[in-house]
Structure 1
Amino acid sequence: MKPAAFTYHAPTSVGEAVGLLAEHGDEAKALAGGQSLVPMLALRLAAFGHLVDLRLVDALQGIERREDGSVRIGAGTTQATVQRSEEIRAAVPLLARATPLIGHFQIRSRGTVGGSLAHADAAAEYPAVALTLDADLEAESPRGRRTIPAADFFTGVWSTALAEDELLTGVNFPVWGGRCGFAVEEFARRSGDFAIAGATVALRVTADGRLDRCAIGLFGLGPTATRALATETGLLGTDPTDAVPDDLGRAATENLASVPSDLHGSARYRTRVGAAMVARAWRRAVQEALHG
């Protein structure tokens, strides 16, 4: 099939792009890498009267270390650029480790950081990483710029807190210092497929080996990526080696609501897989934090 007819726009600035989105309202859609949107248009699962291509907006590109120590990534930066970045590998290792799990290299060469976050697929890696690391997302509209915490950004299946006239322009990732460990684990039936279930873990230990920071992200297990907040809270102040990884995985996934059930697996199966992914990621993150 072919997409329904639309008017094509190729702005060269954020202001121009935002103006087009505001002018055309819900008839306009921003196009980043197009790895999700273009197939949906081709299959006529989505149709828009105006397509706003962001590839020529240079202000959406790039990776920079900010004065507050965080790392800002422009929304139009490709996943392949993130994968090649030594800055990301050193400062935001969880993001660096999640990136090679996204599709295939052809997809990563066109897919963008902002496109993945704004598409908000519950089985995608980047939303889970943003949640786990407490990232802040930047949005711009004719009313100005605002910052949205990742915890408030993902609102449902393929939906976010962005208004119709808002454009995601960048994401800021905090840089964790100290004795930290990071890990991402996912299970997919074939390499490059969306994960049936996955987990991200980030933790930090004090000099005496106690957890003073802990985050457990889950993806593929609900309408959005999510955090196992109750489990995280119970772990703070403890020795991470005291936790039994399999028990921890079950605790992190036992109270999930709306776990999907489809031809790839029942809700019960996905939950069991998710628990196993949490256990694997926990072991790896603890090993890194304690032994490097």
Structure 2
Amino acid sequence: MKPASFDFLCPETIEEALAALAEGGGEARVIAGGQSLVPMLNMRLARPALLVDIMRLEALRRIETSGDEIVVGAGVRQAELEAWPSLLRDLPLLAAAFPWLGHVQTRARGTVCGSIAHADPSAELPLSLVTLGGAVSLRSRKQKRVVKADDFFIGMMATDLAEGEMIEAVHFPKARHGSGYAFREVGRRHGDFAIVACAAVADDRGLRLGIAGVDDRPRVFPLPALDDDQFDDAINDIAWSLNARDDIHASARYRRELVRSLGRETLKEASRCRA
């Protein structure tokens, strides 16, 4: 199929982009890498009247360090962040997640913020952002605001993005000294969206286990430091608390079993990395 007709704008400034989004209201959409939006257009699952292309806006194509955060602009492609020289040192969880994220070809076009905006509950970047306790910078013609990642994702491909707003950047907390990070995933094929993905952080505050692919959004569970014989009970409780469902890819039971096995492995790996 081909998309329904739409107008297309390549603004020269952020202000011009925001003005177009404000005037277009609910009929205007931002397009960056297009790896999520273009298939939806082709299948006519999305029918915007206006697409605003932000990829020529150099102000949005930056990776910057700001205090204890890494700020990734809305125009940064996934491959650019993956190749960023400080990734392994400052964002080791993302370094572990990137090999699971789509394919080389899609990472070369797709943007980091585009994956966040699409909010697929099985996607690796939303899971990583929530597990790290990151945030999303939103901007409209009238205001700027920063929303915690856990509040930004509100349901199945649904976010707190308001009409006339765009994601300006996402904020990933830098790795803390003495912390451990791990990422595991199971999919039908490598590069497919996860049936279940787990991300874990171990530090002096305890453990955090993030899970994608089971509920309608990525979920994160804080845990105290656990002995080996305590992992199974803790993760079993988590598995049953998630809203697992049957679909064409896997049963709810299989997803819960993956949460138990992957969750245990991911938490133990993060704990070992800390040591």
Alpha carbons of structure 1 residues 213 and 17: separation in structure 2 relative to 1, 3 Å: farther
Partner of 2:32: 32
Instruction: Quote the RMSD (CA, aligned, Å).
Output: 1.4
* Whole-angstrom CA distance in 2 between matches of 1:247 and 1:177: 28
Letter of the structure 1 residue corresponding to residue 247 of structure 2: D
* Whole-angstrom CA distance in 2 between matches of 1:242 and 1:197: 22
Given that 1:12 and 1:58 are in contact with CA atoms closer than 8 Å, whether structure 2 keeps it comes out as no
Partner of 1:112: 111
Unaligned runs of 5+ in 1: 206-211
SS in 2 for 1:228: strand
Given that 1:200 and 1:216 are in contact with CA atoms closer than 8 Å, whether structure 2 keeps it comes out as yes
247, 272, 282: which one pairs with 2:257?
272
Letter of the structure 1 residue corresponding to residue 32 of structure 2: A
TM-score (norm 2): 0.96
Structure 2 residue 180 is matched with structure 1 residue 181? yes
* Whole-angstrom CA distance in 2 between matches of 1:251 and 1:131: 20
Given that 1:94 and 1:182 are in contact with CA atoms closer than 8 Å, whether structure 2 keeps it comes out as yes
Given that 1:217 and 1:226 are in contact with CA atoms closer than 8 Å, whether structure 2 keeps it comes out as yes
TM-score (norm 1): 0.90
Unaligned runs of 5+ in 2: none
Identity percentage over the alignment?
A: 37
- TM-fit CA distance, 1:243: 4.8
SS in 2 for 1:16: helix
- TM-fit CA distance, 1:168: 0.2
Given that 2:89 and 2:175 are in contact with CA atoms closer than 8 Å, whether structure 1 keeps it comes out as no
Alpha carbons of structure 1 residues 226 and 286: separation in structure 2 relative to 1, 3 Å: same
Letter of the structure 1 residue corresponding to residue 270 of structure 2: A
Structure 2 residue 154 is matched with structure 1 residue 123? no
241, 246, 249: which one pairs with 2:235?
249
Letter of the structure 2 residue corresponding to residue 174 of structure 1: P
- TM-fit CA distance, 1:241: 4.1
Letter of the structure 1 residue corresponding to residue 120 of structure 2: D
Structure 2 residue 202 is matched with structure 1 residue 217? no
Which aligned pairs between 1:1-292 and structure 2 lie closer than 5 A? 1-66=1-66, 68-205=67-204, 212-229=205-222, 232=223, 235=224, 238=225, 240-257=226-243, 259-290=244-275
- TM-fit CA distance, 1:156: 0.9
Letter of the structure 2 residue corresponding to residue 3 of structure 1: P
Structure 1 runs, 4 residues or longer, greater than 2 Å off = 240-249
Given that 1:135 and 1:172 are in contact with CA atoms closer than 8 Å, whether structure 2 keeps it comes out as yes
* Whole-angstrom CA distance in 1 between matches of 2:157 and 2:245: 14
SS in 2 for 1:201: strand
- TM-fit CA distance, 1:247: 3.7
* Deviation per residue, 1:182-229 (Å, 9 max, x gap): 001110010111000111001114xxxxxx232111100111111124
Point out the more displaced range, 218-227 or 270-279. 270-279
